[in-house]
């Protein structure tokens, strides 16, 4: 199963990170600036359920992703207009 997480902030980073840490194929679709941050440092999550760190699979364009099975939408409400771009998924 291939899961795409649209957004890698607090919510997307946590749930997508947990899935990736458990061995599920997860791709984070993020903006360029977040891509650079995650590429340089990886995804670090601190949680009362246990901290973890992963080197996430990242994409900045839907064209870089092959047919996901599930899409997790984890962006702020005011960013929902960008979804027009992601109809290709």
Digit-coded pLDDT (tens) for 2-57: 999 998 888 999 999 999 999 999 999 999 999 999 999 999 999 999 999 999 99
Q: In CATH, what number is assigned to the domain containing residue 10?
A: 3.40.50.720
Q: How far apart (Å, rounded) are the C-alpha atoms in residues 89 and 37?
A: 24
pTM for the complete prediction?
0.84
Alpha helices in the chain (DSSP H): 10-21, 32-41
Query: How many structural domains does the chain have?
Result: 1
Q: How far is CA 58 from CA 10, 48, 50, 61, in A?
A: 16, 26, 23, 9
Q: Using one digit for the tens of pLDDT, what is the confidence trace for 65-85? A: 988 999 998 877 666 665 555
Whole-Å CA distances, 30 to 6, 39, 48, 63: 6, 11, 26, 13
Which residue is it, tokens 């199963």? 1
What's the chain's Rg over C-alpha atoms?
12
The boundaries of the domain holding residue 62 are 2-88
Kind and range of the H or E run holding 25? strand 25-29
């Amino acid at each position: 199963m291939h899961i795409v997480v649209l957004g890698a902030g607090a919510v997307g980073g946590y749930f997508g990170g947990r899935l990736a840490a458990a061995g599920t194929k997860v791709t984070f679709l993020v903006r360029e600036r977040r891509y650079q941050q995650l590429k340089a440092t990886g995804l670090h999550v601190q949680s009362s359920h246990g901290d973890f760190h992963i080197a996430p699979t990242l994409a900045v364009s839907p064209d870089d992703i092959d047919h996901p099975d599930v899409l997790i939408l984890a962006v702020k409400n005011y960013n929902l207009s960008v979804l027009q771009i992601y109809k290709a998924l």
